[in-house]
Structure 1
Amino acid sequence: MNRSTSRMLVRVKAVYLYIKEKGTVSTTEVAEEFGITDRTVQRDLNVLEHNGLVESPNRGQWTTTGKKVKIS
């Protein structure tokens, strides 16, 4: 795995943990917390959503799903 892929996976995991800790967050909150663009956040959230880990019940608001996750 190359460095940029590894860095992205670490960031996606951190985003997931941040959302899990906060409950419900906006895309902008995540971008500000991690110092990344809204577009990068959206890509990360799409990865998490595709894997059933987060959902957006309201446009621009994100929360974790009840899916069991083993975090290592």
Structure 2
Amino acid sequence: MNHATSRMLTRVKAVYLYIREKGTVSTQEIAEEFGTTDRTIQRDLNILTHNGLVKSPNKGKWKITSKPVNIS
């Protein structure tokens, strides 16, 4: 796995853990927390959504799903 892919996967995991800790958060809050753009965070959220780990009950707001996750 190349360095960029590894960094992206680490950030996606961190975004998931951040949402799990905070509850419902906005895309902007996540971007500010990670010091990146809304667009970058949106790509990360798309990965998490595709895998059934987060959902957006309200536009721009995110929370985790009840899908069990084994964090390693």
TM over 0.5, yes or no?
Answer: yes
Equivalent in the alignment of 2:55: 55
CA RMSD of aligned residues (A): 0.2
Asked if 1:18 is matched to 2:18, the reply is yes
Percent identity over the alignment? 75
- CA displacement at 1:27 relative to structure 2: 0.2
Matched residue SS, 1:17: helix
CA–CA distance in structure 1, aligned partners of residues 54 and 46 of structure 2: 9
Segments of structure 1 that go 5 or more residues without pairing to the other structure are none
Amino acid at match of 1:71: I
- CA displacement at 1:57 relative to structure 2: 0.3
TM-score, with normalisation over the residues of structure 1? Answer: 1.00
CA–CA distance in structure 2, aligned partners of residues 33 and 60 of structure 1: 15
- CA displacement at 1:15 relative to structure 2: 0.2
How many residue pairs match? The answer is 72
Equivalent in the alignment of 1:41: 41
Matched residue SS, 1:62: strand
TM-score, with normalisation over the residues of structure 2? Answer: 1.00
Amino acid at match of 2:67: K
CA–CA distance in structure 1, aligned partners of residues 13 and 36 of structure 2: 15
Amino acid at match of 2:3: R
- CA displacement at 1:36 relative to structure 2: 0.5
